[in-house]
Structure 1
Amino acid sequence: MPYALFCNDAQISKAYPSESDIWQLAQRSGLVVDVSADEDRPGPRRVLDNDYEIKPCRAAQGEDPAKNKAEAERQSRIELELNS
Protein backbone atom coordinates (compact mmCIF):
# COMPACT_ATOMS: atom_id res chain seq x y z
CA MET A 1 0.00 0.00 0.00
CA PRO A 2 1.33 3.48 -0.82
CA TYR A 3 2.04 6.13 1.80
CA ALA A 4 1.77 9.92 1.84
CA LEU A 5 2.43 12.90 4.07
CA PHE A 6 -0.61 14.37 5.83
CA CYS A 7 -1.27 17.51 7.85
CA ASN A 8 -4.47 17.77 9.88
CA ASP A 9 -5.83 14.71 8.02
CA ALA A 10 -5.34 16.33 4.61
CA GLN A 11 -2.96 14.60 2.19
CA ILE A 12 -0.23 17.08 1.25
CA SER A 13 2.13 14.91 -0.78
CA LYS A 14 1.92 12.54 -3.67
CA ALA A 15 1.68 8.83 -2.91
CA TYR A 16 4.98 6.94 -2.64
CA PRO A 17 5.62 3.17 -2.60
CA SER A 18 6.78 2.89 1.02
CA GLU A 19 6.76 4.65 4.37
CA SER A 20 10.55 4.95 4.11
CA ASP A 21 10.15 7.01 0.92
CA ILE A 22 7.92 9.50 2.74
CA TRP A 23 10.39 9.78 5.65
CA GLN A 24 13.07 10.71 3.09
CA LEU A 25 10.78 13.31 1.51
CA ALA A 26 9.94 14.76 4.93
CA GLN A 27 13.64 14.87 5.85
CA ARG A 28 14.54 16.76 2.66
CA SER A 29 11.64 19.16 3.32
CA GLY A 30 12.87 19.93 6.84
CA LEU A 31 9.87 18.36 8.55
CA VAL A 32 11.78 15.78 10.61
CA VAL A 33 13.10 16.65 14.05
CA ASP A 34 15.10 14.52 16.47
CA VAL A 35 13.89 14.42 20.03
CA SER A 36 15.71 13.15 23.05
CA ALA A 37 15.37 9.60 24.26
CA ASP A 38 12.66 8.49 26.59
CA GLU A 39 12.54 5.56 28.99
CA ASP A 40 11.28 3.14 26.33
CA ARG A 41 13.75 3.97 23.56
CA PRO A 42 17.46 4.71 23.88
CA GLY A 43 18.96 7.49 21.77
CA PRO A 44 17.20 10.20 19.81
CA ARG A 45 14.21 9.28 17.68
CA ARG A 46 12.81 10.86 14.55
CA VAL A 47 9.45 12.58 14.69
CA LEU A 48 7.62 14.85 12.31
CA ASP A 49 7.32 18.54 13.10
CA ASN A 50 3.97 20.12 14.04
CA ASP A 51 0.87 18.23 12.94
CA TYR A 52 2.47 16.23 10.12
CA GLU A 53 1.87 12.49 9.88
CA ILE A 54 2.79 9.66 7.55
CA LYS A 55 -0.14 7.42 6.73
CA PRO A 56 -1.06 4.73 4.25
CA CYS A 57 -3.19 6.06 1.42
CA ARG A 58 -4.64 5.17 -1.93
CA ALA A 59 -2.93 6.52 -4.99
CA ALA A 60 -5.06 8.99 -6.92
CA GLN A 61 -6.54 7.75 -10.16
CA GLY A 62 -3.75 7.55 -12.73
CA GLU A 63 -1.04 8.22 -10.11
CA ASP A 64 1.96 5.90 -10.00
CA PRO A 65 3.77 5.88 -6.61
CA ALA A 66 6.93 4.37 -8.16
CA LYS A 67 7.01 7.16 -10.76
CA ASN A 68 6.56 9.74 -7.97
CA LYS A 69 9.55 8.23 -6.15
CA ALA A 70 11.73 8.28 -9.27
CA GLU A 71 10.77 11.89 -9.97
CA ALA A 72 11.58 12.95 -6.39
CA GLU A 73 14.97 11.21 -6.56
CA ARG A 74 15.76 12.92 -9.88
CA GLN A 75 14.76 16.31 -8.44
CA SER A 76 16.94 15.70 -5.38
CA ARG A 77 19.96 14.91 -7.58
CA ILE A 78 19.38 18.10 -9.59
CA GLU A 79 19.23 20.16 -6.38
CA LEU A 80 22.47 18.60 -5.15
CA GLU A 81 24.21 19.44 -8.42
CA LEU A 82 22.96 23.04 -8.31
CA ASN A 83 24.13 23.47 -4.71
CA SER A 84 27.62 22.11 -5.47
Structure 2
Amino acid sequence: MPYALFCNDAQISKAYPDESDVWKIAQRSGLVVDITTDEERHGPRRVLDNDYEIKPCRAAQGEDPARNKAEAERDSRLELELNS
Protein backbone atom coordinates (compact mmCIF):
# COMPACT_ATOMS: atom_id res chain seq x y z
CA MET A 1 0.00 0.00 0.00
CA PRO A 2 1.42 3.42 -0.90
CA TYR A 3 1.79 6.29 1.55
CA ALA A 4 1.41 10.06 1.28
CA LEU A 5 1.67 13.22 3.36
CA PHE A 6 -1.59 14.59 4.73
CA CYS A 7 -2.60 17.79 6.48
CA ASN A 8 -6.00 17.92 8.20
CA ASP A 9 -6.99 14.70 6.41
CA ALA A 10 -6.27 16.18 2.96
CA GLN A 11 -3.59 14.45 0.89
CA ILE A 12 -0.93 17.03 0.01
CA SER A 13 1.75 14.89 -1.61
CA LYS A 14 2.02 12.32 -4.31
CA ALA A 15 1.81 8.67 -3.31
CA TYR A 16 5.11 6.87 -2.61
CA PRO A 17 5.82 3.14 -2.21
CA ASP A 18 6.92 3.24 1.45
CA GLU A 19 6.35 5.36 4.51
CA SER A 20 10.11 6.01 4.68
CA ASP A 21 9.94 7.64 1.23
CA VAL A 22 7.38 10.15 2.50
CA TRP A 23 9.54 10.88 5.57
CA LYS A 24 12.39 11.81 3.18
CA ILE A 25 10.13 14.13 1.20
CA ALA A 26 8.83 15.74 4.40
CA GLN A 27 12.40 16.19 5.69
CA ARG A 28 13.50 17.91 2.46
CA SER A 29 10.43 20.15 2.66
CA GLY A 30 11.27 21.26 6.19
CA LEU A 31 8.27 19.58 7.78
CA VAL A 32 10.21 17.34 10.18
CA VAL A 33 11.35 18.63 13.55
CA ASP A 34 13.37 17.03 16.33
CA ILE A 35 11.85 17.14 19.78
CA THR A 36 13.38 16.32 23.09
CA THR A 37 12.51 12.98 24.53
CA ASP A 38 11.07 11.85 27.78
CA GLU A 39 12.82 9.65 30.30
CA GLU A 40 11.92 6.46 28.42
CA ARG A 41 13.65 7.44 25.17
CA HIS A 42 17.20 8.58 24.70
CA GLY A 43 18.07 11.38 22.29
CA PRO A 44 15.76 13.46 20.13
CA ARG A 45 13.05 11.94 17.99
CA ARG A 46 11.64 13.07 14.66
CA VAL A 47 8.06 14.24 14.36
CA LEU A 48 6.09 16.02 11.68
CA ASP A 49 5.45 19.70 12.23
CA ASN A 50 1.95 21.07 12.90
CA ASP A 51 -0.94 18.93 11.67
CA TYR A 52 1.02 16.88 9.12
CA GLU A 53 0.67 13.10 9.07
CA ILE A 54 1.95 10.25 6.95
CA LYS A 55 -0.80 7.77 6.19
CA PRO A 56 -1.50 4.92 3.81
CA CYS A 57 -3.40 5.99 0.72
CA ARG A 58 -4.52 4.83 -2.66
CA ALA A 59 -2.56 6.03 -5.65
CA ALA A 60 -4.56 8.27 -7.95
CA GLN A 61 -5.68 6.74 -11.21
CA GLY A 62 -2.66 6.55 -13.50
CA GLU A 63 -0.25 7.48 -10.70
CA ASP A 64 2.79 5.25 -10.16
CA PRO A 65 4.28 5.52 -6.64
CA ALA A 66 7.57 3.95 -7.82
CA ARG A 67 7.86 6.61 -10.54
CA ASN A 68 7.10 9.33 -7.99
CA LYS A 69 9.94 7.99 -5.81
CA ALA A 70 12.37 7.90 -8.74
CA GLU A 71 11.47 11.47 -9.73
CA ALA A 72 11.89 12.71 -6.15
CA GLU A 73 15.30 11.05 -5.89
CA ARG A 74 16.37 12.53 -9.23
CA ASP A 75 15.20 16.00 -8.16
CA SER A 76 17.09 15.65 -4.86
CA ARG A 77 20.33 14.71 -6.64
CA LEU A 78 19.91 17.60 -9.06
CA GLU A 79 19.34 20.01 -6.18
CA LEU A 80 22.50 18.77 -4.46
CA GLU A 81 24.49 19.26 -7.65
CA LEU A 82 23.17 22.79 -8.12
CA ASN A 83 23.96 23.71 -4.52
CA SER A 84 27.54 22.42 -4.77
Which 4+ residue blocks in structure 1 deviate beyond 4 angstroms? Answer: none
Give TM-score, length-normalised by structure 2. 0.97
User: Structure 1 stretches of 5 or more lacking a match?
Assistant: none
Secondary structure of the residue aligned to 1:73 is: helix
In 2: Cα distance, 1:40 partner to 1:25 partner = 28
User: Structure 2 stretches of 5 or more lacking a match?
Assistant: none
User: Residue by residue, what CA displacement relative to the aligned partner does 1:48-81 show, whole Å, maximum 9, x if unpaired?
Assistant: 0011000000000010000000000000011111
Deviation at 1:45, TM superposition (A): 0.5
Deviation at 1:39, TM superposition (A): 2.8
Identity within the alignment, %: 86
How big is the alpha-carbon RMSD for the aligned residues of Structure 1 and Structure 2?
0.7
